[in-house]
Structure 1
Amino acid sequence: MPLLPYARYSQLLLRGLLVLPLALAVAIPARAAEVWVITDSQHPVQTPPGATLIELDQTARIEAELTAQLPSEPGRAAAIVQQRIKEGGTDLQRRIARAYQGITDAWSLSVTTIPAVVVDRRYVVYGDTDVERALARIEAYRRANP
């Protein structure tokens, strides 16, 4: 990939017109097709089958569920939240764990703009809500730059 002046690079990045190879700690086979779609509820996207959807505001939505319509008395409110957590059981625990893991994964790849479509933790297209188009752009880049 040719080097671009920083200002041009930034413009392309913000417009989602640049496919960037992300730094990898471990080599991933070229034909692996791990796809992550990183977004939030304000930037909805259609996630294709087999892709992992990471919604960065999922933890806030779970917290809102747990704290909805609480009384103003702190002791009663705490008891209600504890009951809701208990009733949520392992399903709630899994949802919370997945939500925080998604945030960690996005952070570990230095994702700076959403939506982001990431392939094999190496290639990313920012700002495109059409995941299929983003995947096609990444595939074209990979073919052109083996």
Structure 2
Amino acid sequence: MLLVSSYVQAADVLVFTDQKHAVVAPNDVPVIHLDAPAEIEAELASELPADSQRAEVIVRQRLGDGGTELQARLASAYQGVVDAWHLGITKLPAIVVERRYVVYGDADVSRAITAIEAYKRGQQ
């Protein structure tokens, strides 16, 4: 796998995607799955009874059993959605560099970073 360019630190790169859009990214680049909240909610709602009162008890139990790990997963999942919204992400996958430059539709992070760097050089 190609490394993130020396001009761009991995901390300056964010990748937004979902399970339908696989990406190739270095291990140190955060990949944010915008469908993660729905996946967690589906886990919590899995095989619930039709009786809404019993279902509520089971979901509350699952939330309690998940403890701080589940809370952290939920917080992280929803924070990713907030970050995407804040950055104005409109399509997936989206590779964002320095919270300023974005490449849509490219599943290869290294290639997208190369394109952004070429654009930046052309602007100087």
Give the unaligned 5+ runs of structure 2: 1-6
Task: Give the C-alpha shift of residue 31 in structure 1.
Answer: 5.8
Q: Which moved more, 1:58-67 or 1:47-56?
A: 47-56
1:137 aligns with 2:115: yes
Identity of aligned residues (%): 53
TM-score, normalisation: structure 2: 0.88
Q: Which moved more, 1:132-141 or 1:82-91?
A: 132-141
- The CA RMSD measured in Å over matched residues stands at 1.5
Higher helix share: 2
Give the unaligned 5+ runs of structure 1: 1-29
Which one of the candidate residues 97, 107, 125 is aligned to 2:85? 107
Task: Give the C-alpha shift of residue 47 in structure 1.
Answer: 2.4
**Count of aligned residue pairs for this structure pair:** 117
User: Which residue matches 1:36?
Assistant: 14
2-structure distance, mates of 1:73, 1:128? 45
Which aligned runs of 4 or more in structure 1 are off by greater than 3 angstroms? 30-33
1:56 aligns with 2:34: yes
1:90 aligns with 2:68: yes
TM-score, normalisation: structure 1: 0.75
